[in-house]
Amino acid sequence: MYRTVVNRILLTKNTGGGRRCLLRFPDLRTAVTSSRFSTTTEPQTSPNRPLNPADSSTSSSSTSFQTSSGAGDIPRQERKNPRAEYQGEQARVLQASLRHVLRLGWSEEAMIAGAKEAGISPSIVGSFPRKEAALVEFFMDDCLQRLIDRIDSGEELQDLIPSQRIYKLVKFRLEMQAPYISKWPQALSIQAHPLNVSTSFKQRVMLVDEIWHAAGDEASGLDWYVKRTVLGGATYLAEAVGAGMGSSLQGFVGKVIQR
């Protein structure tokens, strides 16, 4: 059903010539790219308090970035490091923890096991404010990075029409999740928690935008939102349905991607 909707949307896309100029994340993009999946709260300046020199510099830099972002596409180097928030030992712990998810779930226990496997003191788990949410978000960021790498290679997509590109990329993205299908209901529950829903939303917006961008989408205005809402809803439904099936990797991908 969702493939039909996507195909119909693609058929209405303007096909005029000229140099492509994408508006990535109109209105929403500043909020998404400024935090880059950050789960920390940035200090904000009161509108009635004068800026000190350091604040002025920061404000000027921020304004400059937002202006350049609104004028065109996000530079590739700005989009290709979704895991920048976790570096060094934290990243090693999270990466190792993923290998314990099937046994211990998306949990603090899995993170402790990951820390031990990485040869790091389990006390490092205390440095993650939201613990299991950090593990789920790290996995989502890792999947996005791998998807971007696949898109950048360009080899598999260059001879496909837009709807085929979307199908292939969504299928590839779901295949990343398939090994964790038995534990994915827990991940969805963690993402839906009020403290985590903002980051979860940003990650999903980035995912669907990358897919539409790879499909050659040039939409703007209302059409931009409609396309991403449809694809975002389809991918989320695919995850939810697949999580309820509890099937093998092949069954998960094969059945869900057709919906």
Between 236 and 1, the higher pLDDT residue: 236
Q: Average pLDDT, stretch 65-72?
A: 36
What pLDDT sits at residue 135?
A: 97
What pLDDT sits at residue 252?
A: 52
Between 101 and 177, the higher pLDDT residue: 101
- Tell whether 6 is covered by a domain: no
- Tell whether 246 is covered by a domain: yes
- Tell whether 165 is covered by a domain: yes
- Tell whether 245 is covered by a domain: yes
Q: Among 186, 199, 178, which residue's Cα sits nearest to residue 129?
A: 199
Give the pLDDT band of residue 195 (cuts 50, 70, 90).
very high
- Tell whether 150 is covered by a domain: yes
CA dihedral 210, 212, 217, 222 (to 10 degrees): -110
- Tell whether 181 is covered by a domain: yes
Joined together, the tokens standing for residue 217 give 């989408």
The pTM for the full model equals 0.64
**Half-sphere exposure in the Cβ direction for 238 (13 Å, CA):** 28
Q: Could you tell me the residue range of the domain that residue 209 belongs to?
A: 131-259
What span, in angstroms and rounded, lies between the C-alpha atoms of 211 and 219? 13
Q: Quick one: residue 221, left, alpha or beta (phi over 0 = left, psi -120 to 50 = alpha)?
A: left
- Tell whether 159 is covered by a domain: yes
Cβ partners under 8 Å of residue 143, min gap 6:
173, 176, 177
What span, in angstroms and rounded, lies between the C-alpha atoms of 93 and 95? 6
Q: Average pLDDT, stretch 200-221?
A: 87
What span, in angstroms and rounded, lies between the C-alpha atoms of 94 and 132? 10
Give the pLDDT band of residue 238 (cuts 50, 70, 90).
confident
Helix, strand or coil, per DSSP, at residue 14: coil
Name the CA radius of gyration of the chain, rounded: 20
In total, how many domains does the chain have?
Answer: 1
Q: Average pLDDT, stretch 103-110?
A: 97
- Tell whether 162 is covered by a domain: yes
| Highest mean pLDDT out of 17-26, 40-49, 106-115 | 106-115
What span, in angstroms and rounded, lies between the C-alpha atoms of 244 and 242? 5
